[in-house]
A = this chain, B = another copy of it.
Amino acid sequence: MHISAETLIETLRERGLRITAPRRAVCEVIAAGHDDHLDATTIAERATTDSGPIDTATVYRTLETLIEAGLLTHTHLPHGAAVYHLAQSAPHTHLVCDTCGSVTSLGTDPMHAVENQILETTGFTPDLAHFAISGRCESCQQPNT
């Protein structure tokens, strides 16, 4: 149901890119974390190879490569670090809690209506998989003032 690391690697190969240990490691981390919201630093930490940890720069370059290949998308969360996940994942919206920083996923069902409405109203085509909504999650509902 989810893309495997091998599929990612295969796609890279098809595009004439070299299959290296770091790329393989990054692909595996991403494939393994299909439901997670991983930022570049986390990916770098998890994606260690035999020859030690992977440099952040390499991770960013690899992620960019994967994005160009259409395998990955990234989302900028309100507070800072960008998170990455497979493009093949069901598109979803990120709900980020201002208070505790937790990230909740929301299916696009509630968003589809808006998508069309935005398009009709403004001519703007929104990318609903690529943005985050700030707010307060259920646990942090109580006012903090």
Chain A residues in contact with chain B, CB under 8 A?
76-79, 95, 97-98, 104, 106, 110-111, 113-114, 117-118, 121-128, 130-138, 141
Q: Are A110 and B114 in contact (CB under 8 A)?
A: yes
Q: Are B122 and A133 in contact (CB under 8 A)?
A: no
Q: This chain: how many copies in the complex?
A: 2
Residue of B nearest to A132 (CB): B131
Supposing A98-B127, A128-B133 touch, asked if A104 and B122 sit within 8 A by C-beta, the answer is yes
**Which A-B residue pairs are the 6 nearest by beta carbons?**
A123-B138, A126-B135, A110-B117, A130-B134, A127-B135, A76-B78
Supposing A124-B95, A127-B98 touch, asked if A133 and B113 sit within 8 A by C-beta, the answer is no
Q: How far is the CB of A85 from chain B (nearest CB, A)?
A: 15
Docked Cα-Cα span, A3 to B124, in Å, equals: 29
Docked Cα-Cα span, A86 to B133, in Å, equals: 19
Q: Are A122 and B95 in contact (CB under 8 A)?
A: yes
Which residues of chain B have C-beta atoms less than 8 A from A98's C-beta?
127, 130
Docked Cα-Cα span, A128 to B125, in Å, equals: 18
With A124-B138, A127-B136 known, 16 other A-B pairs at CB within 8 A are: A76-B77, A76-B78, A78-B130, A95-B126, A98-B127, A106-B118, A106-B124, A118-B133, A118-B135, A123-B141, A125-B136, A126-B133, A126-B134, A131-B132, A131-B133, A131-B134
